[in-house]
Amino acid sequence: GDASTSIEVLEMVEPEPDSRAFKEQTLKKDIANAIVQNRLNAMIQRGNAPFTNASIGSRIYLNHFYYAEISAGSSPENWEKSLSVIEQELRKALEFGFTSYEFERVKRDYLNKLETAVQKASTRDTRDLVRQLIRTINNDRVFKSPQQLKDLYVPMLENLTLDKIHEAFKESWD
């Protein structure tokens, strides 16, 4: 079987109402995570990673727990090397932040996703929609259509800077 290694932070947070500021903060963290994810994927593709898969993410769980995690799966004999590499990648991102090239790539992906969702809006699966609605209500969030999401996030994305993303990422891992 595979070995799994991870570095995590978990903290209690006050439930926060759904707001523009909340969405923007989440977006900044998502963008930062996507950049680190791209770095991890590139290492795997180049074949110079001690792990076979790796992921990074952060989210609020049950409205009260803020959770950030970077993890890797590897063969059992590579778990220490894997832990060392994900720790270095995390430290590098925290210390030096990201490049404009990395940011532009992730921003483009994000904009494409928003656009694709708008184009596919009329063909969405009802069961998926119901699940999304339930999840949104359970998390005390406002449900939005793909067009509303695009209208909300495009200006936010245009206003993001490398510094703002780096700050949000550092906050994730306080």
pLDDT in tens, 36-47: 999 999 999 999
pTM: 0.87
Residue range 95-147, pLDDT digits in tens: 999 999 999 999 999 999 888 888 887 676 667 766 766 666 655 565 667 78
Burial of 82 (0-12, 13-18, 19+ CB in 10 A): buried
Contact 162, 103 (CB under 8 A): yes
